[in-house]
Structure 1
């Protein structure tokens, strides 16, 4: 029996190959195989600079991006709110 992850992966690979073959047929060039790896960049959010740092360790510089951290996992110091956060 095939698990749901394996079935999802198989459908994804089949769909990817189908789209690639369709683009190859439409543009009639093998250059489409060079362009396909860059498709994820088209769906990336513009202006997204990464996660927002909420708290920071005053000793080692560890930066937490969620408020659930109270202490630094490296040295055990209490995290402080970062300037400009909240």
Structure 2
């Protein structure tokens, strides 16, 4: 059985290739292949909110945004609940 991530990746790849071929055909230039890899950087940060800090290390200041961390990956100190600033 194929997972949803695989299906999403395949659909994204097919759509990306179709858009690339369409732009190449429309502009009749290989410049499209140089420009397209940078398109995701143009839309980076749109609609992204800052993550909520859930826990932090009292020694080094590492901030975890998920509850799955119990210890600091930098120095091994147990994380404490983030203080409201």
TM over 0.5: yes
**TM-align CA RMSD:** 3.2
Gaps of 5+ in 1: none
How far residue 7 of structure 1 moved from its aligned partner, in angstroms, is 4.4
Count of residue correspondences: 81
In structure 2, stretches of 5+ residues that fail to align are none
1:10 aligns with 2:14: no
Map of 1:5-84 to 2, 5 A cutoff? Answer: 5=4, 6-46=6-46, 48=48, 50-66=50-66, 68=67, 71-73=70-72, 74-76=76-78, 79-82=80-83, 84=85
Kindly name which structure, 1 or 2, has the bigger radius of gyration based on alpha carbons: 1
Contact between 1:57 and 1:79, CA under 8 Å: does it hold in 2?
Answer: yes
Q: 1-side partners of 2:82 and 2:10: how far apart?
A: 45
Change (3 A) 1:83 1:16: same
Instruction: Report SS of the residue matched to 2:34.
Output: helix
